[in-house]
Amino acid sequence: MRGVDKSFPGVHALKNVDLDVEAGDVLALLGENGAGKSTLIKVLGGAHRPDSGVIEIDGRPMEIITPQDSQRAGIGIIYQEFNLIPAMTVRENIFLGQEPGRVSIVPAGKERRRARELFDRIGVALDPDALVRDLTVAQQQIVEIAKALSLDSRIIVMDEPSAALSPREVEGLFRIVDELKSQGIGIVYVSHRLDEIFAICDHVTVLRDGTYVDSKPIGELTRDTLIELMVGRKLADEFPNRAVAKPVATDDNEVRSGLTVSNLVGGPKVRDISFNVRRGEIVALTGLVGAGRTEAARLIFGADKREAGTITLDGKELSIKSPRDAIASGICMLTEDRKGQGLILNRSVLENFGLPNLSRFTVRGLIQQKRERDAFQAYVEQLQIKVSGPKQRAGNLSGGNQQKVVLAKWLERDAEVIIFDEPTRGIDVGAKFEIYLLMRHLVEQGKAILMISSELPEVLGMADRIIVLHEGRVTGEIEDVKLATQESIMDLAVK
């Protein structure tokens, strides 16, 4: 891609950007939230029409105006949000609409065989007749990849493919990427997880604020130099200093015990879980996916029905039957699922921020607009949310910036116990630090934080204490995080 330019009303999203991918090469496309990565990919996919610029394949200029043009040029794109039809089978989704204007007369048996061949090529087993809605996110991704391969794509683009995958599934994805690479396919890979970039990418191209910064072979970069390219300055640390975790005293000098969960049982995943999170402390709940981490959090938050167990806050037992009860009792939860969190995409970011917090900004029935706006502005600065103004539509923000608005919305609630489920998923490395800092401030003010994270470096960098779950039970607790390693956590997690 040469000299690609693209503006939206009020936003110059891409300024004269170049991108080069070679056959059999994995290119990481990197940059902060809102840098323009997804926009560039949408131009390549024929979903956005650029204001100027050219796309060449094997030196030949291509006219890519529609998604079909892009497919015909051998480009397969796996967007952040999949384009699959849940009620149809894997096979139907793969071959859907491949011959526009013609009714498919390929017999099902042949399609089934072709689908199996494609899965063989990727090195996975998947039932062609399974319904897409019954698949995990990782399996849906495989369907998207098979679909791209079935169209003879020579370039495959993946926009944050690992964001919704567990560590084990990410390994599977890496194997697939290796396999595609060995078949001479050029891959563009977008991710905010630097470990992944160093694990599978050959080259990186960095964008910043819509402009092209640089391209380099991965061998010429270290973690620090790469971060510097992305954020435009040196980042001293990836995690803020851990204050000495000290229990917070109240006025009468009595230590308030924070959140205590005893013998929690519910749903198929949570068998018997007990732990506590003192005020002034960040406790991480870890374990393999399926260990029951999110499920336990949902039971505490009242999102799912608890079958047994008690929840107390500062020694007082809470009666939580719904999220509303939880919020009223001072417990908030940021869920891992961005879409389900309900940003209202066609409303402004300010409305999205203000709606759940109306009572905080209402005095005698009147919304204090200035207070609301100032509060929002403070988060925009602190979390570096890239918005053109408070009136911008939430749906037009980049993925990571939507995530930040969700975060701001919940942080404003000022809860006593905050459950963060994968708080930095999709967030760029500079803003991650700001979120970590905010978490530290919250505990310094005496809040209790329960954190769920699949990224072990994040757990080790942020938690004061680690609780490890396995198959719905607590299998270990690490009191002194300084002595913990990724290996020691994993040991407890598979017990």
The residues binding ligand ATP (CB under 6 A) are 8, 11, 13, 31, 33-39, 386, 396-401, 428
Q: How far is the CB of 14 from ligand ATP (least distance, A)?
A: 8
Of 292 and 399, the one with the shorter C-beta distance to Mg ion is 399
Of 287 and 400, the one with the shorter C-beta distance to ligand ATP is 400
Q: Which residue is nearest to Mg ion (CB)?
A: 38
Q: Is 403 in the site for Mg ion (CB under 5 A)?
A: no
Helices 137-150, 167-182: inter-axial angle, 10-degree rounding: 10
Q: Is 38 in the site for Mg ion (CB under 5 A)?
A: yes
- What number of H helices and E strands is found in the chain? 17, 22
* Other CB atoms within 10 A of residue 178 CB: 14
Q: How far is the CB of 338 from ligand ATP (least distance, A)?
A: 11
**Could you tell which of Mg ion, ligand ATP, none binds residue 397, using a CB distance below 5 to 8 A set by kind?**
ligand ATP
- What value, to the nearest 5°, has the Cα angle with vertex 413 and ends 409 and 414? 130
DSSP characters over 459-478 = HHHH-SEEEEEETTEEEEEE
**Could you tell which of Mg ion, ligand ATP, none binds residue 36, using a CB distance below 5 to 8 A set by kind?**
ligand ATP
Nearest to 476 by CA among 460, 459, 458, 494: 494
Helices 167-182, 108-122: inter-axial angle, 10-degree rounding: 100
Q: How far is the CB of 7 from ligand ATP (least distance, A)?
A: 9
The piece of 246-254, 305-313, 392-400, 413-421 that touches Mg ion (CB under 5 A) is 392-400
Q: How far is the CB of 118 from ligand ATP (least distance, A)?
A: 28
The piece of 37-45, 429-437, 440-448, 461-469 that touches Mg ion (CB under 5 A) is 37-45
Q: How far is the CB of 28 from ligand ATP (least distance, A)?
A: 13
**Could you tell which of Mg ion, ligand ATP, none binds residue 27, using a CB distance below 5 to 8 A set by kind?**
none
Q: How far is the CB of 39 from ligand ATP (least distance, A)?
A: 3
Q: How far is the CB of 10 from ligand ATP (least distance, A)?
A: 7
Of 416 and 422, the one with the shorter C-beta distance to ligand ATP is 422
Of 97 and 395, the one with the shorter C-beta distance to Mg ion is 395
**Could you tell which of ligand ATP, Mg ion, none binds residue 31, using a CB distance below 5 to 8 A set by kind?**
ligand ATP
Dist. CA 320–CA 312, nearest whole Å: 10
Of 393 and 413, the one with the shorter C-beta distance to ligand ATP is 393
Order of all β-strands in the sheet with 11-17: 60-62, 52-57, 2-8, 11-17, 211-217, 203-208, 26-30, 186-190, 155-159, 75-78
Of 206 and 419, the one with the shorter C-beta distance to ligand ATP is 206
Dist. CA 32–CA 11, nearest whole Å: 16
**Could you tell which of Mg ion, ligand ATP, none binds residue 306, using a CB distance below 5 to 8 A set by kind?**
none
**Could you tell which of ligand ATP, Mg ion, none binds residue 140, using a CB distance below 5 to 8 A set by kind?**
none
Q: Quick one: DSSP state of residue 243?
A: P
**Could you tell which of Mg ion, ligand ATP, none binds residue 33, using a CB distance below 5 to 8 A set by kind?**
ligand ATP
**Could you tell which of ligand ATP, Mg ion, none binds residue 141, using a CB distance below 5 to 8 A set by kind?**
none
- Helix, strand, coil percentages (3-state) for the chain, rounded to 5, are 35, 25, 40
Q: How far is the CB of 406 from ligand ATP (least distance, A)?
A: 13
Of 165 and 282, the one with the shorter C-beta distance to ligand ATP is 165
Q: How far is the CB of 348 from ligand ATP (least distance, A)?
A: 13
Of 11 and 493, the one with the shorter C-beta distance to ligand ATP is 11
Q: Is 399 in the site for Mg ion (CB under 5 A)?
A: yes
Whole-number Cα distances in Å, 178 to 145, 149, 372: 13, 14, 49
Q: Which residue is nearest to ligand ATP (CB)?
A: 400
265 Cβ contact list (under 8 Å, min separation 6): 271, 272, 273, 306, 307, 308, 309
Q: Which two tokens stand for residue 214?
A: 């640089």
Instruction: Confirm if 286 and 306 have CB atoms less than 8 A apart.
Output: no
**Could you tell which of ligand ATP, Mg ion, none binds residue 354, using a CB distance below 5 to 8 A set by kind?**
none
**Could you tell which of ligand ATP, Mg ion, none binds residue 396, using a CB distance below 5 to 8 A set by kind?**
ligand ATP
Dist. CA 186–CA 71, nearest whole Å: 14
Q: Quick one: DSSP state of residue 241?
A: P
Q: How far is the CB of 375 from ligand ATP (least distance, A)?
A: 21
Q: Quick one: DSSP state of residue 257?
A: -
Nearest to 433 by CA among 379, 383, 381, 486: 383
Q: How far is the CB of 382 from ligand ATP (least distance, A)?
A: 17
- SS3 category, 332: strand
Each as own residue / partner, the long-range contacts of residues 372-381 (CB below 8 Å, 24 or more positions apart, any chain) are 375/412, 376/349, 376/350, 376/408, 379/353, 379/404, 379/407, 379/408, 379/411, 379/412, 380/408
Q: Quick one: DSSP state of residue 240?
A: P
Of 37 and 203, the one with the shorter C-beta distance to ligand ATP is 37
Which residues of the chain form contacts with Mg ion (CB under 5 A)? 38, 398-399
